[in-house]
């Protein structure tokens, strides 16, 4: 029988785990994984950069052992405006 390989894809933490990570970020820059307790690594860019407007800045908090990440995205007024325009365009396309 072939041994099962560990998943190679990354996924986002659950909403409950994201709240725990955000609470840790309020107390300081370091943090630990709410699932396994391993230290979270800060990545300089976010994996969501491809789907967000250009002037959004952010970083990811990664847990290497769980292969989960938490994106921390910092929006600007312009990026929020562009996101709203995208949602409006999508709603108009669905309505027609």
pLDDT beyond 70 at 1: no
Structure confidence at residue 49 (pLDDT): 83
In a domain, residue 89? The reply is: yes
The model's pLDDT over 61-80, given as tens digits with 9 standing for 90+, comes to 999 988 999 998 889 999 99
8: Cβ contacts below 8 Å, ≥ 6 apart: 67
Domain that holds residue 20: 11-95
Instruction: Tell me if 38 is assigned to some domain.
Output: yes
Residue 1 lies inside a defined structural domain of this protein = no
Residue 25 lies in a domain: yes
C-alpha torsion sign, points 53, 55, 56, 59: positive
Q: Residue 5's pLDDT is what?
A: 55
* 6 within some domain: no
What's the structural domain count of the chain? 1
Whether 15 is covered by a domain: the verdict is yes
Residue 19 belongs to a domain: yes
Tokens of 53: 């407007």
pLDDT tens digits, 5-56: 556 788 999 999 999 999 988 887 778 999 898 999 988 888 888 888 888 8
pLDDT of residue 90: 95
Residue 70 domain-assigned (yes or no): yes
């Amino acid at each position: 029988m072939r041994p099962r390989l560990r998943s190679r894809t990354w996924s986002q933490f659950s909403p409950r785990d994201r709240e725990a990570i955000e609470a840790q970020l309020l107390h300081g820059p370091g943090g630990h994984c709410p699932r396994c307790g391993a230290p979270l690594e800060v990545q300089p860019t976010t994996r969501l950069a491809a789907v967000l407007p250009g002037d959004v800045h952010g970083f990811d908090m990664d847990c290497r052992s769980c292969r989960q990440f938490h994106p921390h995205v910092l929006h600007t007024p312009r990026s929020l405006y562009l996101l709203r325009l995208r949602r409006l365009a999508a709603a108009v396309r669905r309505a027609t």
